[in-house]
Amino acid sequence: MTGKIYGSIEGGGTKFVCAVIDEENQILVEARVATTTPEVTLESCLEFFRRQEHLLGRLTALGIACFGPLDARRSSPTYGHILETPKAGWANTDVASFFANGLGIPVGFDTDVNAAVLAESLWGAGKGLTNLVYYTIGTGIGAGAIVNGGLVHGLGHPEMGHVYLPRAAGDEAFMGVCPFHGGCFEGLASGPSMAARWGEPAESLTAEHPGWELEAGYIAMAMVGVICTLSPQRIILGGGVMGTDFLFPMIRQKTIEYLGGYIRAKAILEGLEAYIVPPGLGGRSGILGGKALAQRAVKRK
Ligand code: ZN
């Protein structure tokens, strides 16, 4: 094989997807490892990459797009760790060093959503943009942001899934499902919140179900919040809940309504079809994001 190949991990609460990806973004091989204990899951991932190095050649670097909260600040003593997570057994796990030591190659590490927004900015729906936000709305709600060309790492990383939103009329009695905040954005609008509120999973609700009106309203409130805060040039919405084609037009319409004519940018006046969009990379934003993190780790070296 000629050309560089990269390892990528998309680490989630139920599975770790491992892949080897070439310079043209072709996924050469991919495997899924169940998320059990860190010892078992990380060891299985490491074995996968060792085996692939044997078959395909030396990996140039590895990128890890991981569930959080985590520490992606390189100057921090706990860089590369998953932090206090409700996911049993995973709190304070040093993920980045495990692979850096195990494979002896540069390792990049960031949140799954920061990785996804990076990949979308390089190759997807945000190509060429310097201010971009990516949300995943599914089992949980998370968001990654690029501001002035750089991923946001300040205090830690953005947690835009946990902003508080005003309650919609008629939804005041619902407690919300976030274990930390009850009725934050994730607590009110994640897939599990829809299942808890309506007694059936989001994917089984028909297009006419009132749950979608409520869902679009909460997402639109979050859109107004991020438009007013970060002034992104585009917002990408991915994740399981966004897999329904009728939801995007409802969100766009409510976002315009809630903005109240205040922001007069061309993209907003034009109706948001090209502004609030699905991922350009489909379901591959996360795994290609891992590759993008790997490439950055090489440049940094
Ligand atoms: Zn929350």
Does 86 score more than 90 pLDDT?
no
What is 174-230 written as a DSSP string?
---SBTTTBSBHHHHHSHHHHHHHHSS-GGGS-TT-HHHHHHHHHHHHHHHHHHHHH
Confidence of residue 85 (pLDDT cuts 50, 70, 90): confident
Does 267 score more than 70 pLDDT?
yes
Query: Could you say which DSSP state residue 1 is in?
Result: -
Whole-number average pLDDT of the chain: 96
For residues 263 and 2, give the distance between their C-alpha atoms in angstroms, rounded to a whole number: 50
- Distance (Å) from CA 222 to ligand 1 centroid: 13
- Distance (Å) from CA 184 to ligand 1 centroid: 5
- Distance (Å) from CA 154 to ligand 1 centroid: 19
- Distance (Å) from CA 225 to ligand 1 centroid: 16
- Distance (Å) from CA 158 to ligand 1 centroid: 13
Using an 8 Å Cβ cutoff, are 116 and 217 in contact?
no
- Distance (Å) from CA 4 to ligand 1 centroid: 40
- Distance (Å) from CA 59 to ligand 1 centroid: 38
Work out the average pLDDT over 157-161: 95
- Distance (Å) from CA 89 to ligand 1 centroid: 20
pLDDT in the model for residue 245: 87
Using an 8 Å Cβ cutoff, are 33 and 44 in contact?
yes
Write the burial class of residue 148 (CB in 10 Å: 0-12 exposed, 13-18 middle, 19+ buried). Answer: exposed
For residues 236 and 142, give the distance between their C-alpha atoms in angstroms, rounded to a whole number: 12
Q: Which domains does the chain have, with CATH numbers?
A: 5-112+283-300 (3.30.420.40), 125-278 (3.30.420.40)
Q: What is the pLDDT of residues 21-40, one digit of tens each?
A: 999 999 999 999 999 999 99
Does 1 score more than 60 pLDDT?
no
- Distance (Å) from CA 181 to ligand 1 centroid: 4
- Distance (Å) from CA 176 to ligand 1 centroid: 9
For residues 283 and 261, give the distance between their C-alpha atoms in angstroms, rounded to a whole number: 34
The model's pTM: 0.95
- Distance (Å) from CA 192 to ligand 1 centroid: 13
- Distance (Å) from CA 163 to ligand 1 centroid: 7
